[in-house]
A and B are shown apart, each in its own frame.
Chain A
């Protein structure tokens, strides 16, 4: 059991050890001369603006939740696809009905403006 996974654990150990080693070396051997400019967050050379706690717009939430709901409904498609031949026509009809209902809800969300970023 353990032998099979030995290479994985070895890999894991090396992956942890190397960055630790590098960071330790850098912090002990390097000289430190902090200036205010050096302490700023690095944003590709441009000066950073705004507070660090950014208020995320509620629009992100609406989009995310729509994604999650429609995404999870797709969960029912997998078992149906796996058993497609066994379920036959009855399964196809049921799935089409299910997707139609989902389609109606999509139309609803669309027309209600839930999919528009700027309102």
Chain B
């Protein structure tokens, strides 16, 4: 079977998801009584992740890397991102299946948008040309704008979608202008060609640096790094919670994947990536303000969804620390594989932890009242311990408490940064300090869950019953614990993917 496909084999997961998406779209349009689209979406996306895992040990041929004249990459990094993106999207679809039915919002568009956005993310992860990058990024973003606006009767959804759309397209335009200048400076649009041209000194230096700045700003918007994060809390709060989960896990993973590729492949030149004068310095600064800004803003939030949005901004900061660390080694040592793999491991851990946290938030509410504020969670741990348990696990993992996936992720990123010597010490210090600040608002959730009681007379959120949501929680909870208790296999997985940059 694999031989039959030849050079096309590395594209199998993404082709499968695209075909599956078209199929689901037709089912949605043609089948009148509501089909089990949530299940269908879950199956399509998890098979996509399974295909990516199955292809892991298939040797990548030279023909594959040259496929379509270098427009898409065929390597383990793209397969790794496929697994993270498809897995996250599949879990978000399961959450959607439970949530939409409970709140009587069930419409097929949701699942179609989820599949096609995930497809965009997978293409983004394997884009190897600025043109593919742009088209894939827009495929991902346009779907997500639709997902945010999904609840048509909610002014908050419309507002969040509008802000996200306006700032998102502005960022895309900036990124695009950077790509155009890069094409002008080097005469190439494929990553390898651009890098070779920069390496050979053929590129106009000032134009290249300007292009790099524009592209980094554009991508910083997408990963919601401070100060380009303004849209994040609004879009996260306005969207229906499964869509928020999708944004938190899929959009961020895909955007970080392509950021890695752009920084380490396109701008991997010695001059541009010099630790003290090149982009590692800029990313380090960005990481520091992102961690501080995200954690400090999260403290004052009264809405748990909004708090989780700021927490996702803070997590983007920790990931940026890993990226900055990977390029901060001695000049002749190349990239630090440890740091790169810690970034990838973090993305996996972040995905499952967020699904767990958002999924528990979904499970805590039902049609009458959705759990959104801290007060809505008051006493939930006493009344419904089974609902509070996954919440506790998710929050502990986001906080970085052992023995969860989040703990090891943070630990690996910070220890990789420590190995880079004294240059990174301040960044590690900032990370530790801001994590300590972050513990406050994470623990606050636990305090409300177990130590507070709802105000007398207040409407109490009753947990919903949904097999979909429960199974998503069981799956993500399993991985949170598994990655925390036996992280070696996952770390090896991330390390093999990180060797792509060799």
B149 to chain A: closest CB distance in Å?
A: 15
Q: How far is the CA of A107 from the CA of B112 in the complex (A)?
A: 14
CB-contacts of B69-85 with A (<8 A) = none
- How many interface residues does B have (CB within 8 Å)? 6
A112/B22 in contact, CB under 8 A: no
- How many interface residues does A have (CB within 8 Å)? 8
CB-contacts of B10-48 with A (<8 A) = 22, 25-26, 28-30
Q: How far is the CA of A101 from the CA of B22 in the complex (A)?
A: 8
Q: Which residues of A contact B26 (CB under 8 A)?
A: 104, 107-108
B28 to chain A: closest CB distance in Å?
A: 8
- Mask: chain A, 91-110; 1 = CB below 8 Å from B; 0 = not: 00000000001001101101
A98 to chain B: closest CB distance in Å?
A: 12
Q: How far is the CA of A111 from the CA of B27 in the complex (A)?
A: 11
Q: Which residues of B contact A112 (CB under 8 A)?
A: 29
Q: Which residues of B contact A107 (CB under 8 A)?
A: 26, 29-30
Q: Chain A residue with minimal CB distance to B109? A: A112
Interface class of chain A by DSSP: helix
Q: Chain B residue with minimal CB distance to A104? A: B22
Q: How far is the CA of A108 from the CA of B28 in the complex (A)?
A: 8
Q: Which residues of A contact B30 (CB under 8 A)?
A: 107, 111
CB-contacts of B355-394 with A (<8 A) = none
Q: Which residues of A contact B28 (CB under 8 A)?
A: 108
Q: Chain A residue with minimal CB distance to B18? A: A101
Q: How far is the CA of A111 from the CA of B28 in the complex (A)?
A: 9
B71 to chain A: closest CB distance in Å?
A: 13
Q: Chain B residue with minimal CB distance to A108? A: B29
Q: How far is the CA of A2 from the CA of B406 in the complex (A)?
A: 72
- Mask: chain A, 68-109; 1 = CB below 8 Å from B; 0 = not: 000000000000000000000000000000000100110110
Q: Chain A residue with minimal CB distance to B112? A: A108
B372 to chain A: closest CB distance in Å?
A: 31
Binding site for A on B (CB under 8 A): 22, 25-26, 28-30
> Can you spell out 16 A-B residue pairs with CB atoms less than 8 angstroms apart?
A101-B22, A104-B22, A104-B25, A104-B26, A105-B25, A107-B26, A107-B29, A107-B30, A108-B25, A108-B26, A108-B28, A108-B29, A110-B29, A111-B29, A111-B30, A112-B29
